[in-house]
Amino acid sequence: MEYVLEDNKETTLVELQESFFSRADKLLRMEVFSKPSFQLVQTLILMARYLQRKGLSERCWSVVGMGFRAAQALGLHLEASGDTQSQKEERIRTWWACVLMDR
Protein backbone atom coordinates (compact mmCIF):
# COMPACT_ATOMS: atom_id res chain seq x y z
CA MET A 1 0.00 0.00 0.00
CA GLU A 2 1.38 3.42 -0.93
CA TYR A 3 0.83 6.69 0.92
CA VAL A 4 1.46 10.25 -0.24
CA LEU A 5 3.28 12.72 1.99
CA GLU A 6 3.24 16.52 1.79
CA ASP A 7 5.90 16.64 -0.92
CA ASN A 8 3.95 14.12 -3.07
CA LYS A 9 6.59 11.46 -2.46
CA GLU A 10 5.05 8.00 -2.41
CA THR A 11 6.14 5.88 0.52
CA THR A 12 5.28 2.57 2.16
CA LEU A 13 3.60 2.22 5.52
CA VAL A 14 6.86 1.03 7.08
CA GLU A 15 8.73 4.11 5.81
CA LEU A 16 5.94 6.33 7.12
CA GLN A 17 6.08 4.67 10.56
CA GLU A 18 9.84 5.07 10.71
CA SER A 19 9.57 8.71 9.67
CA PHE A 20 7.06 9.57 12.40
CA PHE A 21 9.03 7.65 15.01
CA SER A 22 12.24 9.44 14.04
CA ARG A 23 10.57 12.85 14.29
CA ALA A 24 9.02 12.06 17.69
CA ASP A 25 12.35 10.72 18.95
CA LYS A 26 14.16 13.93 17.98
CA LEU A 27 11.48 16.17 19.50
CA LEU A 28 11.37 14.26 22.78
CA ARG A 29 15.06 14.16 23.59
CA MET A 30 14.90 17.39 25.61
CA GLU A 31 11.28 16.94 26.73
CA VAL A 32 12.04 13.77 28.67
CA PHE A 33 14.26 15.64 31.09
CA SER A 34 11.84 18.46 31.80
CA LYS A 35 8.57 18.38 33.70
CA PRO A 36 6.54 15.26 32.77
CA SER A 37 3.17 15.66 31.10
CA PHE A 38 0.22 13.45 30.28
CA GLN A 39 0.97 13.81 26.57
CA LEU A 40 4.58 12.79 27.15
CA VAL A 41 3.47 9.59 28.88
CA GLN A 42 1.13 8.72 26.01
CA THR A 43 3.82 9.46 23.44
CA LEU A 44 6.35 7.29 25.26
CA ILE A 45 3.84 4.43 25.38
CA LEU A 46 3.32 4.67 21.62
CA MET A 47 7.06 4.85 21.01
CA ALA A 48 7.65 1.83 23.24
CA ARG A 49 5.01 -0.14 21.37
CA TYR A 50 6.69 0.76 18.07
CA LEU A 51 10.09 -0.35 19.38
CA GLN A 52 8.58 -3.56 20.69
CA ARG A 53 7.08 -4.36 17.29
CA LYS A 54 10.44 -3.63 15.59
CA GLY A 55 12.19 -6.07 17.94
CA LEU A 56 14.31 -3.37 19.60
CA SER A 57 13.77 -4.67 23.12
CA GLU A 58 16.57 -2.75 24.86
CA ARG A 59 15.36 0.64 23.60
CA CYS A 60 11.76 -0.39 24.26
CA TRP A 61 12.57 -1.23 27.87
CA SER A 62 14.24 2.16 28.39
CA VAL A 63 11.33 4.09 26.87
CA VAL A 64 8.81 2.08 28.92
CA GLY A 65 10.76 2.94 32.06
CA MET A 66 10.73 6.64 31.27
CA GLY A 67 7.00 6.55 30.54
CA PHE A 68 6.22 4.57 33.67
CA ARG A 69 8.19 6.94 35.88
CA ALA A 70 6.62 10.00 34.27
CA ALA A 71 3.18 8.45 34.87
CA GLN A 72 4.04 7.89 38.52
CA ALA A 73 5.34 11.45 38.85
CA LEU A 74 2.02 12.70 37.49
CA GLY A 75 0.11 10.48 39.90
CA LEU A 76 -1.78 8.65 37.18
CA HIS A 77 -2.00 5.66 39.52
CA LEU A 78 -3.94 7.77 42.03
CA GLU A 79 -7.56 8.83 41.85
CA ALA A 80 -7.78 12.51 40.96
CA SER A 81 -10.56 14.69 42.25
CA GLY A 82 -12.17 17.26 40.00
CA ASP A 83 -11.64 15.32 36.78
CA THR A 84 -14.53 14.65 34.45
CA GLN A 85 -15.50 11.05 33.80
CA SER A 86 -13.70 11.07 30.45
CA GLN A 87 -10.53 12.50 32.05
CA LYS A 88 -10.64 9.82 34.75
CA GLU A 89 -11.06 7.13 32.10
CA GLU A 90 -8.13 8.49 30.08
CA ARG A 91 -5.92 8.56 33.19
CA ILE A 92 -6.85 4.97 34.05
CA ARG A 93 -6.30 3.70 30.51
CA THR A 94 -2.96 5.49 30.23
CA TRP A 95 -1.82 4.13 33.59
CA TRP A 96 -2.75 0.57 32.66
CA ALA A 97 -1.04 0.93 29.29
CA CYS A 98 2.14 1.74 31.22
CA VAL A 99 1.64 -1.22 33.55
CA LEU A 100 1.06 -3.64 30.68
CA MET A 101 4.09 -2.39 28.73
CA ASP A 102 6.24 -2.79 31.86
CA ARG A 103 5.47 -6.51 32.17
Q: How confident is the model at residue 97 (pLDDT cuts 50, 70, 90)?
A: very high
Segments making up each domain of the chain, as ranges: 2-102
Label residues 6-42 b or e (16+ Cβ within 10 Å = b). Answer: eeeeeeeeeeeeeeeeeeeeeebeebeeeebeeebbb
Q: How confident is the model at residue 31 (pLDDT cuts 50, 70, 90)?
A: low
Q: pLDDT averaged over the chain?
A: 85
Q: Which of 98, 5, 96 is nearest to 43 (CA)?
A: 98
Is the per-residue pLDDT at 30 higher than 90?
no
Q: How confident is the model at residue 57 (pLDDT cuts 50, 70, 90)?
A: very high
